[in-house]
Amino acid sequence: MTRPLELLSAHACFGGEQRFYRHPSVQTGLPMRVAVYLPPQALAGAPVPALVYLAGLTCTEETFPTKAAAQGLAAQLGLALIAPDTSPRGAGLPGEADAWDFGVGAGFYLDATQAPWAAHWRMESWLLAELLPLLAEWLPIDGQRLGLCGHSMGGHGALTLALRHPGRFQSLSALAPICAPTHCPWGEKAFTGYLGSERSTWAAHDASALMRQQAQPPYPAGILIDQGLDDRFLAEQLHPHLLQAACQAISQPLTLRQHAGYDHGYYFIQTFIADHLRHHAQQLAR
């Protein structure tokens, strides 16, 4: 059988391997890329739990592995790290290459319904129906023990995918997430482009709206969110207070930590990523 994952490179890292893969996606119709860190325990043959990390606008599958400094602790915890690319690439759509900064063009971790994006911008289906099952089949990863984390646009993706697919992920966290995209310029632009102008369809991809619809707390062991107070996007784009209120409304335990002096970038992520890895490792332990 032809191996469906093409290994592009592998690098020894803290006794494990940082790998970069490409595969031909049926869901997007384009080659898609993903980074996977396998800790020493996985290389020894034991299926390990995994944390899926969704990155933000302008990022790729290389951003988290090269900037977050997470592999050392992941090796100690026996935790694989999965970092997918943030968007389809190479479709040749007008303005595609220049759009990732502004919303439309960036993946936003949903399946687009509007032309010209609907044919290829199927990030939700790629991740859930294709990529994660593929990795669990071909790599020493326990597909039943998955945590989900993300930053910014990827934080939006982590929160919404976890709420849209109950039971698929056993732990959840985010760093500076877009918590209410129906109430911010990034979300409004992306949703109009991908889902159309009918705002009633947008709530299905808004974490704060989805949380309020839950019949019971979906993560009783708790959700962790970190937010920098010097983040220039906090007031206009992120709105963590709306998610906090939604969690309070259904008694969902939420630890929302707000940090003076920290901005939106990877120095902020480096500072707090260890707490997120431990949060997931604890909830994924058997």
Active site residue 264: yes
Q: Choosing from 87, 152, 171, 208, which is the catalytic residue?
A: 152
121 near 202, Cβ under 8 Å? no
Q: Which two tokens stand for residue 241?
A: 């207070």
63 near 35, Cβ under 8 Å? no
CA 143 to chain centre: 16
Q: What angle do CA 160, 164, 170 make, to 5 degrees?
A: 85
Q: Choosing from 156, 205, 264, 276, which is the catalytic residue?
A: 264
What SS3 state is found at 135?
helix
Q: Which two tokens stand for residue 4?
A: 């469906």
Active site residue 230: no
Q: Choosing from 173, 231, 279, 280, which is the catalytic residue?
A: 231
Active site residue 208: no
**DSSP codes of every residue in 220-250:** TT-EEEEEETT-TTIIIII-HHHHHHHHHHH
Q: Return all residues near 267 (Cβ < 8 A) that are at least 6 apart.
A: none
Catalytic residue list: 152, 231, 264
